[in-house]
Amino acid sequence: MYRIIIDGQYVPIPPEKITIKVDGDNKTMTLINLGEINVIRKKKLTDISFELLLPNQQYPFAYYPQGYMTADSYIKKYRRLQREKSPFKLEIYRYTPNGKNMFNTILNVTLEKLTITDSVSDGFDNKVSLEFKEYKKYGATTIRKKSATYTVKSNKETLTLIAKKWLKDSSKAQDIYKKNKKVIEKAAKEHKRKSSSKGKYLYKGTVLKKP
């Protein structure tokens, strides 16, 4: 048994069948030495579709926790959801015959397709087919680049700490020294030292270049 909620509104009669389509987005490539390979990528957006019977009379087996509404009330809402092109929540709850919850599908979606069917076999009721697509919020991502230079903040700083903070890799300490040996040794001599002892002694204001 299903319980379906579309943008906060319960469906009165659950569908006989729900189709949930989850496609992968892997790509195959052919490499000279390896032949064909499969490049694994994130899955595509989920597609969900089902057909609903919307009653125009208050059946005893239908579910009306928010009060009885005609088929037209539901259809107007679905038209609005499609027209506004804004994401909303789709909730699908599955229960065993004794009422035990099995598992649920809860997604933010958009309504991609609405098909309304009037059939003599359905009497005064209406059928609608709904097709939803999963929605994922997105936006511009700011990528922070590592600065090309680093200015020593304190005489107590070490190349290891600078490498960890600046390059996210403390093992790059000697790479920084090799790249900046001249300025590091010059600063040491200006502070009355014979040498920096391979970068052991650093001085505030020294500008280091990225290795």
* HEC sequence for the chain: CEEEEECCEECCCCCCCEEEECCCCCEEEEECCCEEEEECCCCCCCEEEEEEEECCCCCCCCCCCCCCCCHHHHHHHHHHHHHHCCCEEEEEEEECCCCCEEEEEEEEEEEEEEEEECCHHHCCCEEEEEEEEECCCCCCCCCCCCCCEEECCCCCCCHHHHHHHHHCCHHHHHHHHHHCHHHHHHHHHHCCCCCCCCCCCCCCCCEEECC
Q: Determine the pLDDT at residue 85.
A: 85
Q: Determine the pLDDT at residue 1.
A: 78
Q: Is residue 144 part of a domain?
A: no
Examine the domain organization and report whether 130 and 165 are in the same domain.
Answer: no
- pTM above the 0.75 mark? no
End-of-domain residue from the set 89, 109, 134: 134
Q: Is residue 76 part of a domain?
A: yes
Examine the domain organization and report whether 163 and 78 are in the same domain.
Answer: no
Q: Is residue 141 part of a domain?
A: no
Q: Is residue 64 part of a domain?
A: yes
Phi, psi for residue 105 in degrees, rounded to 5: -125, 115
Examine the domain organization and report whether 22 and 121 are in the same domain.
Answer: yes
Q: Determine the pLDDT at residue 34.
A: 66
In 3D, which of 164, 150, 157 has the Cα closest to residue 209? 150
Q: Determine the pLDDT at residue 144.
A: 67
Number of domains in the chain: 2
Measured distance between the N- and C-terminal CA atoms of the chain, rounded to whole angstroms: 63
The CATH number that applies at residue 61 is 2.30.110
105-139: pLDDT as tens digits: 999 999 999 999 888 888 889 999 999 999 988 77
Q: Determine the pLDDT at residue 46.
A: 92
Q: Is residue 142 part of a domain?
A: no
Q: Is residue 86 part of a domain?
A: yes
In 3D, which of 170, 211, 202 has the Cα closest to residue 184? 202
Examine the domain organization and report whether 14 and 95 are in the same domain.
Answer: yes
Q: Which residues of the chain have pLDDT under 50?
A: none
Q: Determine the pLDDT at residue 202.
A: 93
Examine the domain organization and report whether 200 and 110 are in the same domain.
Answer: no
Do 116 and 128 meet the contact criterion of CB atoms below 8 Å apart? Answer: yes
Q: Is residue 139 part of a domain?
A: no
Q: Is residue 129 part of a domain?
A: yes
Do 145 and 124 meet the contact criterion of CB atoms below 8 Å apart? Answer: no
Examine the domain organization and report whether 14 and 104 are in the same domain.
Answer: yes
Examine the domain organization and report whether 115 and 40 are in the same domain.
Answer: yes
Examine the domain organization and report whether 128 and 200 are in the same domain.
Answer: no
What the block records as the tokens of 41 is 């990528």
Q: Which domain holds residue 202?
A: 149-209
Examine the domain organization and report whether 99 and 186 are in the same domain.
Answer: no
| CA 75 to chain CA mean position, Å | 30
Q: Determine the pLDDT at residue 42.
A: 78
